Amino acid sequence: MSQQDNSGISRRQLVGGLVGSMAVTAVAGHANAASSTPQTQTTEPGPHPLTGKDPRNAYPKPPFEYQTQEPPGLASKMNPRPDHGEQSYKGSGRLAGRKALITGGDSGIGRAAAIAFAREGADVAINYLPVEEPDAREVIALIEAAGRKAVAIPGDITDEAFCQKLVNDAAAQLGGLDILVNNAARQRNVESINDLSTEFFDKTFKTNVYAMFWITKAAMAHLKPGAAIINTASVQAHKPDANLLDYASTKAAIVAFSKSLAKQLAEKGIRVNAVAPGPFWTPLQPSCGKKKEKFEQFGAESPYGRPGQPAEIAPLYVTLAAAETSYSSGQVFCADGGAGTF
């Protein structure tokens, strides 16, 4: 899939080098144990607690204790609890004065992005389902502890009218909008296409694709030159699992949507990029109907031998939202523990 330019450097090498350099400039974090306790930020953050340590051993490895939850699941009920950077992320003002809306901001990657954005100086609105309120309350407290405005807007994004209201309410309460993160997703394991009903298939597309379309369309009334849109795709878009037919299809759609929209919005000075996570330790895992043996060995197939923690991908969202990456648009940035999926 690699394309060569005249210098003989592949696109994959260029993207890999860019992500590597971004990682150096990003001041971010992830500790071995997560905590929901709000942490105030120091003005001069020190070295990351994992600096110089082997990333293969930085976080829990399988086997994991088998556990299940009713969808959509709560991070607070997982064992071990995911690390969203609650204790470790230290900001440096990269998003000072910005206004962000993040869907699925109560847990997982959305929660990690919300914490990081706030500690980088942004005011943040998060959307989530009402049943996820316990996790959402923790995020709101963490945003406020960072000295930023926090806006909680629960609701179901499979409803177009709510999506329009969500964007308008977020912009009104934040005093504007210049970062949009379409992150909320539905994932369920279904072994056979014969067991995948039209209603089920439709619900996945409504959550993962239609909502992104509706929310982004509504946001156009508020986004100005310099704004950034970040959509959460997945390695499933490129290497789909057999039991995630509907989910993988939506993630491939998100990649194409992001690349097409980036070209469309270039003339408006608005950047659009996608992030493609590999296996990450989030509430999707205990709530998606994963088989016992698959759950216990989740992430073992990664070259690192473990799943990623949300705190490990939040710096990508910060970097893509920051002004320093003004020439990056229409790209997919992958974090998959060394598998090199994209």
* Positions marked catalytic: 247
Instruction: Answer whether residue 2 shows pLDDT above 70.
Output: no
In a domain, 256, yes or no: yes
| pLDDT digits 0-9 by tens, 271-289 | 999 999 999 999 999 999 9
> Which of 1, 8, 75 lies closest to 36, judged by CA?
75
Domain contains 232 = yes
No. of helices (H) and no. of strands (E), the chain: 10, 7
Residue 219 forms part of a structural domain: yes
For residue 201, the enclosing domain spans 67-335
Assigned domain for 126 exists = yes
Question: pLDDT, tens digit, for every residue of 23-60?
Answer: 333 333 333 333 333 444 444 567 888 888 899 999 99
Average pLDDT, stretch 16-24? 38
Number of domains in the chain: 1
State the Cα–Cα distance between residues 322 and 96, nearest whole angstrom. 9
Q: Is residue 46 part of a domain?
A: no
Residue 101 belongs to a domain with what CATH number?
3.40.50.720
Cα–Cα distances (Å) from 36 to 140, 142, 202, 332, in that order, read 10, 8, 35, 30
